């Protein structure tokens, strides 16, 4: 790590979305609201990819919510609730 990027951005939902298990659970829940796109967890966030190869890397939960909202057409609040739901 060179430190050029200043590290990871702040995450307001860190207690619910950080760590491999939490990121995987969020990815699974948000993939469920998408019709053709898929959310996959990565080490420092998520990747949202579509069937045509269009891919977005999301380093924060907010950027993931924004991307899923655009691709699904659902309101941001619904995406936040789905992503932070307690059960899968």
Number of folded domains that form the chain: 1
- Residues of the domain holding 79: 14-83
Residue range 23-48: mean pLDDT, rounded: 95
Stated pTM of the model: 0.85
| Burial of 32 (C-beta count, 10 Å sphere; 0-12/13-18/19+) | exposed
Spatial CB neighbours of 5, under 8 Å, sequence gap ≥ 6: none
Q: Is the pLDDT of residue 9 over 90?
A: no
**What does the pLDDT read at residue 69?**
97
Task: Judge whether 88 lies within some domain.
Answer: no
Task: Judge whether 2 lies within some domain.
Answer: no
Task: Judge whether 5 lies within some domain.
Answer: no
């Amino acid at each position: 790590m060179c430190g050029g990027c200043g590290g990871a951005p702040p995450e307001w939902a860190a207690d619910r979305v950080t760590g491999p298990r939490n990121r995987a659970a969020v990815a699974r829940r948000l993939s469920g609201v998408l019709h053709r796109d898929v959310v996959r967890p990565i080490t420092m966030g998520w990747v949202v990819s579509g069937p045509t190869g269009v891919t977005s890397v999301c380093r924060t939960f907010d950027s993931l919510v924004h991307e899923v909202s655009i691709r699904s057409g659902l309101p941001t609040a619904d995406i936040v609730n789905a992503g932070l739901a307690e059960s899968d």
